[in-house]
Copies of this chain bind each other. A is one copy, B any other.
Amino acid sequence: MADYLLGIDLGGTNIKIGCFDKELNLIGKTSVPTGSEMSPEAIVEKFYATSNDLLSDNGLVLDDVCSVGVGVPGIIDVNTGVIMACPNLPLFRNVPLKDMVSARMGKPAIIENDANAACWAEYVNGAGKEVNHMIMLTLGTGIGGGIICDGRLIHGPTGGAAELGHMIIELDGRPCGCGQKGCVEAYASASSTAARAAEAVEGSAESSLAAALKENGEITCKDVFDHADNGDKLAKEIIEGSCRALGLICVQLANITDPQTIVFAGGMIAAGDAFLDQIKHYYAQYIGGLYQKGSLEICFATLGEDAGIIGAAALGLTAVNN
């Protein structure tokens, strides 16, 4: 019986593969390095070989697998399963990955943007398990996202939806890597939070972070949170700025797709409840009263780093049912 699912998270550095039963219980997982210079054919071959190893380690064979889902850090035409572009894997341009994976593995396959796959994981098996309308924002180097309306991922015609990090919070504000100015990603991502702190310290604002910068040559986002915890005023203001930006984004999203839950994920959520409470505080401050959107739940993701493989596996199953 083909009762198992493979979920693959293709990253610029590693390929993670997980094997799950149909209730999304993890049977086993593995990780192998990717090379950014690898051809699509070589990567699909690596999917095949690594999956077989993983299955074999868990007493299974490919015949036990009913579907394969793959999350990819790029722009995907979900209807055709073609990767249009993938910044960290430059050889993936107009690559029909779905057909290639399906042919090599001999299984129905689905290809999805990695942020959407992680969002889907939280939706089916994590923080959004009880709702039908959810948005996830992943706070890392950038800010990625996924939007689920009435149980469906929103893709747009060309996979360009849910670029939530590029919502503008300040006209003509901080420049963003995307070419826009004032994107929320330029203020409230982990790296932008750290960058704003470093700029303030270099601009000679008084802060205990100055010593950290001198000692380590850089300030990390974790430094900013740690120094804020220890009472540093500048660090607190920087964190507050990030929370204000994220609270504002929640207001915009509440007014656009009206989610029941907004889930924050990524490294920054390690900062814990004080961080979450501050985002909620600004949401409550900005949302006003009339539209009764006070019932929106804002929370942290629960699946951690496995979200990518869980979501890919869960989406793979939808390829079987179509």
8 Å CB interface, A127-171 against B: 131-133, 147, 149-150, 152, 154-164, 166-169, 171
8 Å CB interface, A268-309 against B: 286-293
Asked whether A220 is an interface residue with its Cβ less than 8 Å from the other chain, the reply is no
Segment at the B interface, from A45-53, A106-114, A172-180: A172-180
Report whether B251 and A178 are in contact in the complex, using a CB–CB cutoff of 8 Å. no
- Across the interface, name the chain B residue whose C-beta is closest to A160: B258
Closest-CB distance, A57 to chain B (whole angstroms) = 40
Report whether B150 and A255 are in contact in the complex, using a CB–CB cutoff of 8 Å. no
* Interface residues in chain A, defined as those with a beta carbon under 8 Å from any beta carbon in chain B: 131-133, 147, 149-150, 152, 154-164, 166-169, 171, 176-181, 244, 248, 251-260, 286-293
Report whether A256 and B258 are in contact in the complex, using a CB–CB cutoff of 8 Å. no
B residues in contact with A290, CB < 8 Å: 177-179
Which one of B157, B169, B171, B289 lies within 8 Å of A258 (CB-CB)?
B157
Report whether A257 and B256 are in contact in the complex, using a CB–CB cutoff of 8 Å. yes
Report whether A251 and B155 are in contact in the complex, using a CB–CB cutoff of 8 Å. no
B residues in contact with A181, CB < 8 Å: 286, 288
Report whether A161 and B251 are in contact in the complex, using a CB–CB cutoff of 8 Å. no
B residues in contact with A179, CB < 8 Å: 288-291
CA distance A157 to B128 in the complex (A): 14
A286 and B255 contact, Cβ closer than 8 Å, known pairs A149-B154, A156-B133, A291-B163? no
**Interface pairs (20), CB distance under 8 Å:** A131-B157, A133-B156, A155-B258, A158-B292, A160-B254, A160-B292, A160-B293, A161-B256, A166-B255, A167-B252, A167-B255, A168-B248, A168-B251, A169-B171, A171-B244, A179-B291, A180-B251, A180-B288, A181-B286, A253-B256
CA distance A160 to B291 in the complex (A): 8
Which one of B152, B260, B287 lies within 8 Å of A157 (CB-CB)?
B260
- Across the interface, name the chain B residue whose C-beta is closest to A175: B288
Report whether B286 and A171 are in contact in the complex, using a CB–CB cutoff of 8 Å. yes
Counting chain B CB atoms within 10 Å of each CB, the highest count among A159, A164, A257 belongs to A257
Report whether B166 and A248 are in contact in the complex, using a CB–CB cutoff of 8 Å. no
CA distance A260 to B159 in the complex (A): 12
Counting chain B CB atoms within 10 Å of each CB, the highest count among A131, A132, A155 belongs to A155
Extra contacts besides A176-B288, A178-B288 (5): CB < 8 Å: A156-B259, A160-B254, A163-B291, A167-B252, A252-B252
CA distance A154 to B98 in the complex (A): 29
A166 and B291 contact, Cβ closer than 8 Å, known pairs A156-B133, A251-B180, A252-B252? yes
